[in-house]
Amino acid sequence: MNNLLCPRCGLSHIKRNGHTHYGEQNYLCKKCNRQFVENSQRVSEEEKALIQRLLLERLSLRGICRGAEVSLTWLLGFIAEVSAALPDDLNVQAWEARGVVQLLRLEAAGR
């Protein structure tokens, strides 16, 4: 079976498990019962970095999906994963006003 490894546990104890509705060979890991296809889509670290940059550019989620060729389900899971890794306070420090704050109003000349 071409030395296939389970994407979840990394072991090679797998067996054939029918076909997907697209006709591709489906496999089953005997250890963790994960089903997978041999050439399933994997998003590389470079592609993930690109997707993070696109998210910072505030593009639409569906636009990012089309451009990066990932599913909306994967993208939403990736966003949840990235946001869960962020600290709760994002290292923001409160600003304290020192002294007196004056609010001035501009008036039009000639009145």
Do 49 and 74 lie in a common domain? Answer: yes
> Which amino acid belongs to residue 61?
L
Alpha-carbon distance of 73 to 80, in angstroms, equals 11
Q: Is residue 109 part of a domain?
A: no
22 plus 49 within the same structural domain: no
Domain count, the chain: 2
Please tell me the distance from the alpha carbon of residue 44 to that of residue 41, in angstroms, as a whole number. Answer: 10
Domain membership of residue 15 (yes or no) is yes
Q: Length of the chain in residues, anyone? A: 111
Domain enclosing residue 62, as ranges: 45-84
What is the rounded average pLDDT of the residues 80-90?
86
Whether the pTM exceeds 0.85: the reply is no
Give the confidence band of 78 by pLDDT, cuts at 50, 70, 90.
very high
Q: What is the DSSP letter of 95?
A: -
Res. 80 pLDDT band, cuts 50 70 90: very high
